[in-house]
Amino acid sequence: MAIISIANAKGGTGKTTAAVLLAMEFARKGGKVVILDCDPLAFAAKWHGLPRTIETISVVTGVTFANLGSNLRMLQGQVSHIIIDLSCARDALVALAAGLSDLVLIPVQGCAMDAQGAAHVLDLVGQVQSNARGHINHAVVLTRVNSFVTTRAMRSVKALLASRGVAFLDVPIMERSAYRDMFEQGGSLYAMNEGRVSNLAKALANMQALALEVERCIVGPLHLQSNCSLARIGYKAPAEVSPPWKRAAGPTDPDVFHIVL
C-alpha cells in the first residue's frame, strides 16, 4: 500500500486535479484506490459522485487530524494506494500526513503565490523531518503548464525552489481542457469521447506519464531537477509496469508505514 499526500498552502494550485488523475491511472492499471478528501468543499468527492463512477476508486470525506491515523489503519492491506488531498488542510494535518506518507507532492503553478504556498509546506516537511530525524520523500510537481510557453514567472518559481534544494518531478501536469471537463462529466478520462474533447490523447499520455513517474519516486530517491524541462512530456503511452511497492508487516507504531523493496 502506497500513501501519497498532495499539499500546498495556497488554494487553486491543482491538488485535487493531481489526486484524481493519479487515482484514475492507478485504478486503470488494476489498483484499488482511496482518496482521503480533507477539503471542506469536497471537490474530489463531488467528482466521484457524478455519473460513471469508477468502481475501484473510493473517496472518504471529513478527514481531520484526529481521524487520519485511524483511517489509514482501517485501510491498511485493503487498497493499493491512498491519496491524501490536503486542500484547505491546517498545518497540523499537513504535517501529520507528510510524516505518514511514502511521497509528498507539492503542486505549483507559475506564480509567486504558489511558490510561497509551496515554501510553507516545505517548511512543515522540514520540521517533521527534524523532529523525526528521518527523511520524507517529497517533490514539487509543476501544474497547468503550457507546452509552448515558459513564462518569466514560471522560471522565477523554479529558480526560487531550486535554490532551496527542492526536487521536481520530471513530468509536469499540462494545461488540458480534459482535466477541467472531468470535474463536470465525472468518470474516467478513458471514457470521454475523443471527438468532443480537445487533445484527449495528449491528456491521457500526460496522466500515464505522471503516474509512472510517481510510482518510481515512491521507491527511489528524488534528486534536484533544477533544469527540469517544462515541455518534457511523452505523448506516447509509457510502458506498463507493475506497482513496485509492498507494505512492511507489523510496524512498531501503527501510525508509521514503511515501503520495502
Query: Which domains does the chain carry?
Result: 2-260 (3.40.50.300)
Task: Answer whether 200's CB lies under 8 Å from 235's CB.
Answer: no
Mean pLDDT of 88-106: 95
Task: Classify burial at 96, counting beta carbons within 10 Å of its beta carbon; exposed 0-12, middle 13-18, buried 19 or more.
Answer: buried
Average pLDDT of the chain, as a whole number: 82
Q: For residue range 220-252, list pLDDT tens digits in order.
A: 555 444 333 322 222 233 343 333 333 333 333
Task: Answer whether 108's CB lies under 8 Å from 142's CB.
Answer: yes
| Encoded amino acid at 4, one letter | I
The more confidently predicted of residues 190 and 251 is 190
Residue 132 pLDDT: 83
Residues near 193 by beta carbon (within 8 Å), at least 6 away in sequence:
none
The more confidently predicted of residues 22 and 165 is 22
Q: Is the pLDDT of residue 261 over 60?
A: no
Residue 258 pLDDT: 32
Q: For residue range 26-54, list pLDDT tens digits in order.
A: 999 999 999 999 999 999 999 999 988 89
Residue 149 pLDDT: 60
User: End-to-end distance of the chain based on CA atoms, in angstroms?
Assistant: 12
Q: Which of 126-130, 155-159, 221-225 has the highest mean pLDDT?
A: 126-130
Residue 253 pLDDT: 38
Residue 239 pLDDT: 41
Q: Out of 60-64, 150-154, 163-167, 172-176, which region has the weakest mean confidence (pLDDT)?
A: 150-154
DSSP output for 73-118: HHHTTT-SEEEEE-TT--HHHHHHHHHH-SEEEEEE-SSHHHHHHH
The more confidently predicted of residues 234 and 90 is 90
Mean pLDDT of 67-85: 97
Q: What is the pTM of this model?
A: 0.82
Q: Is the pLDDT of residue 6 over 60?
A: yes
